[in-house]
Amino acid sequence: MPTATLPQDNPFATPSSLPYSTPAFDRIRDVHYLPALVEGMRLHRDEVRAIATDQNAPTFANTIEALERSGALLTRVSKVFFNLTESTTNPTIQQIQAEVAPKLAAHQDAIWLDAQLFARVEAVHAARESLEPEQKRLVERYLTAFVRNGARLLPDAQQRLRAINEEMSSLTTKFQEHLLADTKALAVLVDTKEELAGLDDSAISAAAGAAKEAGKDGKFLLTLQLPTSQGILSQLAHRPTRQRVFEASMTRCSRGNQHDTQGMVRKLAALRAERAKLLGFASHADHVLADQMAGSAKAVNEMLSGMAPQIVQKTKAEAAELQAWLDRNQKGQQLAAWDWSWVAEQVRKERYAFDEGAVKQYFELESVLQNGMFFMAKTLYGCELRERKDLPVYHPDVRVFEVFDGDGSKIGLFYADYYARPSKRGGAWMDNFVDQSGLLDQQPVVLNVMNIQKPGAGQPTLLSFDEVTTLFHEFGHGVHGLFSRVKYPLLSGTAVPRDFVEFPSQFHEDFAFDDAVLTRCAKHWQSGEALPKELVGKIKAARTFGQGFASLEYIAAALLDMAWHSIPAGTEIGDVAAFEQQALEKAGVWFPLVPPRYRSTYFAHVWPGGYSAGYYAYLWSEALAADAFAGVMENGGMTAANGARFRQAVLQRGMTQEPMAMFAAFRGRALDTKALLKRRGLL
């Protein structure tokens, strides 16, 4: 096999000698990435050509398994580099990303469009019935991947496909850079504490710290998070500040400046439509969804449109309730979009006699982590997470935990990167530094990333209950990667359809509401007093409060995603905002008081984020999660027996089985969507 020529002082030249082959972050420098990426592509290309030109008859071992073993260097450096482009980027990393993105797209195309290699894959596929089940599954996934990436196209069409893929790769990289820059540029600078009325000391301290870091000592900086509706709006009593924050969020990348993404959005939509047509599909949505659980754009649109009228009706009822509160308490004030979260919080206080600020005092990060989330992991799965401070990290805020199974055996590593910083994109996510694979003798190294505001010196990190559930959500992705017991990398861990990958994560959200979890982790950060049982009941009862708003902003974004990606090839889109409004009006979800969770110009999930024609997946997966959790509650709740069943039926399987078969194996029957409607308070 070909050998690498990378200098030995480059940390990527050889596999890491650290436990679990975790990256040697203490040795990795920006200067190491580009040479390793370039050499990784060269070496991978040579490895693949050796497979394609093998004179021996194609077999599973010399073709499919050989492909699974190839590209080790490229995988090693890519796993680190592309994680850091999202969590700890800088101008050098951005420059490298812009340079290598089109090269990587071309590199992948060279593999998928290699006629000799595809012929070998087809030959192995034709003889697949003699293989073991996981091998057969792997061969089928390879054939599907080759065909979906253009292996059966004529040469001219393949050449155009290569050009499209390179251009899209460059555009998505630029989109990511523009969004990060404009999000930073639009952070709201506040002069006085009076303008921050309603925020607790921890939040004010965080704003002061952010201002100081930005060179504005003595002022307060309210940094923006990824969604349209900023979490801080529920606390800000000062209406002009609310309006400033909301409008800054809404106008990201749409102001005609150097960070504007409107041209990129139009171009990406057009390129994706053209690519889909080349591959034989009516739209990009149809191409994407043909390989998802949903199966077609028609099925997704039917699901979304079927729920839309009920959601809009509930949202309008909520709006009337909020306006009634304003009429009683702030006469003459008309409800505006920037008022919604704050007024809703006032109504919630009245109805359930608690407010988010008071609740936060009981959810200190370390307690939630150790006494809540890790306790859940121990109870359900028998595993323990023990912090390791001897392993290098890529940022001082990052923590590493070693994961042990109930019998004491080692499972893998869990990296926790929870604090926001200017170099990190918004949102929360899970990824891997090392994928689990029996073939490669690899144990998983996973990470969870969030954007919790870091408090000032001496202040505790207090979480809203939304942040608590997000913590559990991302950990659900984490255990999906950690508990994987699959032989082949292509089928490992979270390598499942978009509308299934959110199932384990949303399933774990509900355990944040478990009495045993709350009893242990919800302690007042000063007094140590347990969260009063009365307040626990109110939090649970309030869960369905405001679900009209939450459901509408989500479904509007999902429908917007589908609208952009249902465009036929050759369609000319003019004004982005006009297209957005027309699409939402046509779907019956245009409601200015509740804009989409993400507008087109900062919809990171669907432009650079891999969820194009896939944002619906959260709702699809939530139906699975709600029904599965209902099954858990029918069978004793958070028990080791239920955890073992979920681990065996879902978490350890990767993509070795059809997703719905995994769900049915756990639930014991087909999906029932009533649990979803109950979960959201819509039934």
Q: Where are the alpha helices (DSSP H) in 408-482?
A: 465-482
Q: What is the 3-state secondary structure (H, E, C) of 486-528?
A: CCCHHHCCCCCCHHHHHHHHHHHHHHHHCHHHHHHHCECCCCC
Q: Please tell me whether residues 107 and 195 are part of one structural domain.
A: no
> In sequence order, what DSSP letters do the residues of 527-544 get, joined into one string?
T-PBPPHHHHHHHHHGGG
Hey, what are 539's tokens? Answer: 């939090």
In a domain, 575, yes or no: no
- pLDDT tops 80 at residue 1: no
Closest CA to 340 of 552, 609, 632, 572: 552
Q: Predicted confidence band at 2 (pLDDT cuts at 50, 70, 90)?
A: low
Compute the distance between CA of residue 254 and CA of residue 182 in angstroms, rounded to an integer: 10
Strand partners for 364: 462
Specify the pLDDT at position 674. 86
Specify the pLDDT at position 600. 98
Mapped onto helix, strand or coil, the DSSP state of residue 403 is strand
Number of residues that this document lists for the chain: 683
- pLDDT tops 90 at residue 268: yes
The alpha-carbon radius of gyration of the chain (Å, integer) is 25
Q: Taking the chain, what is the end-to-end CA distance rounded to the nearest angstrom?
A: 60
- pLDDT tops 70 at residue 186: yes
CATH number of the structural domain spanning residue 447: 1.10.1370.40
Q: Please tell me whether residues 145 and 201 are part of one structural domain.
A: no
Taking the C-alpha atoms of 155, 161, 163 and 164 in order, what is their torsion angle to the nearest 10 degrees? 160
Q: Please tell me whether residues 62 and 111 are part of one structural domain.
A: yes
Specify the pLDDT at position 94. 96
In a domain, 626, yes or no: no
Contact by Cβ (8 Å): 139, 60:
yes
Mapped onto helix, strand or coil, the DSSP state of residue 117 is helix
Q: Please tell me whether residues 192 and 140 are part of one structural domain.
A: no
Hey, what are 186's tokens? Answer: 């639009």
In a domain, 370, yes or no: yes
Task: Name the residue type at position 485.
Answer: R
* Segment 480-539, tens digit of pLDDT: 999 999 999 999 999 999 999 999 999 999 999 999 999 999 999 999 999 998 888 888
Compute the distance between CA of residue 651 and CA of residue 186 in angstroms, rounded to an integer: 40
Compute the distance between CA of residue 475 and CA of residue 591 in angstroms, rounded to an integer: 34
Specify the pLDDT at position 356. 81
Compute the distance between CA of residue 184 and CA of residue 225 in angstroms, rounded to an integer: 10
Q: Predicted confidence band at 142 (pLDDT cuts at 50, 70, 90)?
A: very high
Please say whether the dihedral angle defined by the alpha carbons of residues 426, 430, 431 and 434, taken in this order, is positive or negative.
positive
In a domain, 614, yes or no: no
Contact by Cβ (8 Å): 135, 129:
no
Specify the pLDDT at position 136. 98
Q: Please tell me whether residues 434 and 508 are part of one structural domain.
A: yes
Identify the domain boundary among 494, 516, 545: 545
Q: What angle do CA 233, 238, 241 make, to 5 degrees?
A: 65
Mean pLDDT of all residues in 631-651: 97
Specify the pLDDT at position 535. 86
> How far is residue 203 CA from its own chain's centroid?
25
- Helix count (H) and strand count (E) of the chain? 26, 7
- pLDDT tops 70 at residue 59: yes
Domain range holding 541?
Answer: 365-545
Contact by Cβ (8 Å): 420, 451:
yes
Q: Is 289 exposed, middle or buried (0-12, 13-18, 19+ CB in 10 A)?
A: buried
Q: Where are the alpha helices (DSSP H) in 149-281?
A: 155-185, 201-213, 239-250, 262-278
**Please, how many CA atoms are within 13 Å of residue 182, restricted to the half-sphere of its CB?**
24
- Residue showing tokens 């704050």: 342
Identify the domain boundary among 545, 564, 598: 545
Q: What is the DSSP letter of 409?
A: -
In a domain, 170, yes or no: no
Taking the C-alpha atoms of 390, 395, 396 and 402 in order, what is their torsion angle to the nearest 10 degrees? -40
Q: Predicted confidence band at 4 (pLDDT cuts at 50, 70, 90)?
A: low
Q: Please tell me whether residues 419 and 517 are part of one structural domain.
A: yes
> How far is residue 396 CA from its own chain's centroid?
23
For residue 513, give Cα distances in angstroms to 217, 411, 519, 544. Answer: 40, 27, 10, 13
Specify the pLDDT at position 449. 98
Specify the pLDDT at position 230. 95
Compute the distance between CA of residue 436 and CA of residue 324 in angstroms, rounded to an integer: 55
Q: Please tell me whether residues 201 and 122 are part of one structural domain.
A: no
Compute the distance between CA of residue 545 and CA of residue 345 in angstroms, rounded to an integer: 10
For residue 322, give Cα distances in angstroms to 183, 200, 250, 334, 546. Answer: 29, 23, 22, 10, 10
Whole-prediction pTM: 0.91
Q: Please tell me whether residues 231 and 134 are part of one structural domain.
A: no
> In sequence order, what DSSP letters do the residues of 575-603 get, joined into one string?
-HHHHHHHHHHHHT---TTS--SS-GGG-
* Segment 551-605, tens digit of pLDDT: 999 999 999 999 999 999 999 999 999 999 999 999 999 999 999 999 999 999 9
Hey, what are 221's tokens? Answer: 């900086």
Give the rounded percent of residues in the chain with a pLDDT score beyond 70: 99
In a domain, 202, yes or no: yes
Q: Predicted confidence band at 680 (pLDDT cuts at 50, 70, 90)?
A: confident
Contact by Cβ (8 Å): 308, 589:
yes
Compute the distance between CA of residue 241 and CA of residue 223 in angstroms, rounded to an integer: 13
Contact by Cβ (8 Å): 601, 291:
no
Give the rounded percent of residues in the chain with a pLDDT score beyond 90: 90
Kindly give, in sequence order, each residue whose CB lies less than 8 Å from that of residue 634, ignoring residues fewer than 6 positions away. none
> In sequence order, what DSSP letters do the residues of 626-678 get, joined into one string?
HHHHHHHHHTTSS-HHHHHHHIIIIITTTTSS-HHHHHHHHHSS---THHHHH
- pLDDT tops 60 at residue 654: yes
| Catalytic residue of the set 39, 474, 502, 509 | 474
In a domain, 58, yes or no: yes
The bridge status of strand 384-388 relative to strand 220-222 is unpaired
**Considering the chain, what is the average pLDDT of its residues?**
95
Task: Name the residue type at position 278.
Answer: L
Q: Where are the alpha helices (DSSP H) in 15-61?
A: 30-52
Q: Please tell me whether residues 147 and 229 are part of one structural domain.
A: no
In a domain, 14, yes or no: no
Contact by Cβ (8 Å): 531, 372:
no
* Segment 286-317, tens digit of pLDDT: 999 999 999 999 999 998 998 899 899 999 99
Q: Please tell me whether residues 120 and 242 are part of one structural domain.
A: no
Closest CA to 626 of 514, 513, 503: 503
Domain count within the chain: 3
CATH number of the structural domain spanning residue 64: 1.20.1050.40
Identify the domain boundary among 98, 128, 152: 152
The bridge status of strand 445-452 relative to strand 429-434 is antiparallel
Specify the pLDDT at position 282. 96
* Segment 226-235, tens digit of pLDDT: 999 999 999 9
Q: Please tell me whether residues 143 and 191 are part of one structural domain.
A: no
Catalytic-residue membership of 553: no
Q: Please tell me whether residues 193 and 147 are part of one structural domain.
A: no
